[in-house]
Amino acid sequence: MRQFHFWHKFSTRCLLAGLLVFTMAADLPVGGFQPQSIYANRQYRNYAEWLGLKQTQQLQAVRTTRQYQYQRVIMMNPEHKQAQQAQPERKKKAVETVKVLATGYTAGYESTGKKPNHPQYGITYSGVRVRRDKDTVSTIAADLKIFPIGTILYIPGYGYGVVADKGSAIRGHKIDLYFDTIKQVYKEWGKKEVEVQVVRKGDGKLTEEMLKELGKAMEVNKEIPENLWDKAI
């Protein structure tokens, strides 16, 4: 009887111990406990991040290459080239050209009826003194109904001229170009029919300071600066 109780208690304890071991084993990862699993997971995450970054860089490189190829195709397109070449042509067409009869004059008695001792000798209708400067701008006379004071013209063979004067014989599409001497008038010009470019229409005003500022700007730029026109004329 005592042996029966002993074996009964022993069997019960063995059964409980077996259940405890089974429960602990169920909580372990598949394949048992692996001390290096944390390190392996970290390596996997690092590799995944590196792979994702690499794919992003490759995708960006592909997009950049495609964009470059697209722009190259556009630039090589004949229609695109024609459009680019047409832009300067449109700007040139915007400049007004007028055919005029151009003659030459001086500040002397033969042109103005004034002698050097006259108080108004060499003074134009606008109030500025006559000037001839091949490198910048010269004063010219015109019909003020067509070319108001301050109008800037480009005359082929003469250069830039700003309307500063008028004359009794200057009517319609006729202009008078200033020269320092009669000899220069006959030698350098005479009488010509030319097409002049109307660079800017004047507003009826021209002062010595404005003319000086315009000439100084042209010395630097060798042409009339666009941002100076409204300021100078």
Residues 115 and 194 in one domain: yes
Answer yes or no: is pLDDT of 33 > 50.
no
Phi-psi map region of 212: left, alpha, beta (phi>0 left; psi -120 to 50 alpha): alpha
**Is residue 113 domain-shared with residue 56, that is, in the same domain?**
no
pLDDT digits (tens, 9 = 90+) for 125-146: 999 999 999 989 999 999 999 9
Report the range of poorest mean pLDDT among 39-43, 153-157, 193-197.
Answer: 39-43
Q: Are residues 206 and 104 in the same domain?
A: yes
Convert the pLDDT of each residue in 162-199 to its tens digit. 999 998 889 999 999 999 999 999 999 999 999 999 99
Q: Is the domain of 86 the same as that of 122? A: no
Tokens 């042409």, residue?
223
Give the orientation angle of helix 37-76 with respect to helix 78-93, to 10 degrees: 60
Kindly tell me if the per-residue pLDDT of 156 is higher than 90: yes
Task: Tell which of 94, 111, 129 closes a domain.
Answer: 94
161 pairs with which residues across the strands?
138, 153
Say which residue the tokens 């040139």 belong to: 92
The answer to the question of residue 19 being in a domain is: no
Same domain, 146 and 208: yes
Please say which residue of 77, 94, 111 terminates a domain.
Answer: 94
Residue 72 has pLDDT above 90, yes or no: no
Rounded Cα gap, residues 151 and 175, in angstroms: 12
Q: What is the DSSP string of 74-108?
A: HHH-HHHHHHHHHHHHHHHHTSEEEEEEEEEE-SS
* Per-residue confidence (pLDDT) for residue 214, from 0 to 100: 85
**How confident is the model at residue 218, as a pLDDT?**
80
| Same domain flag for 181 and 165 | yes
**pLDDT at position 49:** 73
In a domain, 215, yes or no: yes
> Which residue type, as a one-letter code, is found at position 142?
A
What is the structure's pLDDT at 215?
Answer: 85
Domain count, the chain: 2
Task: Judge if 114 and 173 occupy the same domain.
Answer: yes
Same domain, 115 and 212: yes
Q: State whether 74 and 170 are in the same domain.
A: no
Supply the pLDDT for residue 84: 63
Do residues 86 and 101 share a domain? Answer: no
Q: What is the mean pLDDT of the chain?
A: 78
When pLDDT is cut at 50, 70 and 90, the band that residue 92 belongs to is low
CA pair distance 8, 10, nearest whole angstrom = 5
CATH of the domain at 193: 2.40.40.10
Residues 89 and 102 in one domain: no
Question: Does residue 29 belong to any structural domain of this protein?
Answer: no
Residues 64 and 150 in one domain: no
Helix, strand counts (H, E) of the chain: 7, 6
Q: How far is CA 95 from the centre of its chain?
A: 20
Residue 20 in domain = no
Containing structural domain, residue 208 = 96-232
Within-domain flag for 177: yes
2 assigned to some structural domain? no
Question: Among the three residues 94, 120, 143, which one is the final residue of a domain in this structure?
Answer: 94
pLDDT, greater one: 219 or 20: 219
**Alpha-carbon Rg of the chain, whole angstroms?**
47
